[in-house]
Amino acid sequence: MNRVIIDTDIGSDIDDAMAIALALRSPELKLEGITTVYGDTHLRARMVSKMLKLANRTDIPVFAGLNDPLLRNRPIWMAGHEGVGLIEPAEELTYDSRHAIDFIIDTVMNNPGEITLIPIGPLTNIAASLIREPRIAQHVKEIVLMGGVTRLGDNGTDMRIAEHNIVCDPEAASVVFNSGAPIVMVGLDVTLKVQITEQERRQLLQSNDPLNLKLADMMKHWFDFVQEQHTFMHDPLTVSLLLDRSLVTTKNMHVQIEYDHRPKTGQTLATLAEPTNVAVCLDVDADRMVSMLMSRLLKGS
């Protein structure tokens, strides 16, 4: 069984919530805790607590982390609909009072080689943990993160050159990528191939499962926000690698973060230079991944 901590910026795109739901419906994973990062982390912690309540998994602790980027030098982006479709404004939802960074450090250091970190938001909490306790890099089992883009897969140069989670805090990303920890990078090269549509949303509705119904509501708000009837499963794909690593093809590469102090900079440059520091995902069996995601969510209903 894989012991994991998910670090999430749940609330804007639907993919964080879908990733957490996938983890909750996967008996191969032991969720040691869920931490929140970036923006209003207390609102995000309340959202996670509501998901756990709907899934009857209130045994899993939730911790709020850092609101601001590491250097507090970049604006926070939030869509404005965080929590809509999931929680009521005055709904009483509690979570652990300890700080996310304390929890991450204590859990990894007390369980050497046992804990996998799954950051699916900006890397601020993970970087701050590594700064406070650099030995995390040697004690963590691995870091499987959603972030970055190399433009080296067959999506090629049609994709953007920088990715949201890295752009939000490139200084934190630089700390993590240079830490020496074993890292798997699940970037846009593969995540943009994994889509769900209104068809999957209707399947969630038809299940009548309380958690799935809320996921469907949140998906509707996101579809309206982006004015599309499909969305990408960036974060569920990241979680899925703890269930079936054969879903992706990886290549060991050297990744560094290129940025300056202007907003919207933070490129993940991947080369074959030695030493390699990241297993970079370059291809994915998208159909098999979506099938696994939906079967887990619907089977659990």
* Domain positions in the chain: 2-299
Please tell me the distance from the alpha carbon of residue 119 to that of residue 117, in angstroms, as a whole number: 6
pLDDT at 300: 61
Tokens 């994973």 correspond to what residue? 29
pLDDT at 158: 74
Please tell me the distance from the alpha carbon of residue 254 to that of residue 241, in angstroms, as a whole number: 20
Is 234 considered catalytic here?
yes
Please tell me the distance from the alpha carbon of residue 180 to that of residue 16, in angstroms, as a whole number: 26
pLDDT tens track, the chain, 301 positions: 899 999 999 999 999 999 999 999 999 999 999 999 999 999 999 999 999 999 999 999 999 999 999 999 999 999 999 999 899 888 999 999 999 999 999 999 999 999 999 999 999 999 999 999 999 999 999 999 999 999 987 876 677 889 999 999 999 999 999 999 999 999 999 999 999 999 999 999 999 999 999 999 999 999 999 999 999 999 999 999 999 999 999 999 999 999 998 888 999 999 999 999 999 999 999 999 999 999 999 986 5
Class of domain 2-299: alpha beta
pLDDT at 126: 98
| Token output for 147 | 């972030």
- Tally of residues, the chain: 301
**3: exposed, middle or buried (Cβ count in 10 Å: 0-12, 13-18, 19+):** middle
Whole-angstrom CA distances from 196 to 233, 242, 289 are 7, 20, 11
Which residue blocks in 133-163 are alpha helix, DSSP H? 136-139
The residue annotated as part of the active site, out of 81, 164, 234, 254, is 234
For 56, the enclosing helix (H) or strand (E) is: none
Which of 286, 281, 279, 28 has the alpha carbon at shortest distance from 143? Answer: 279
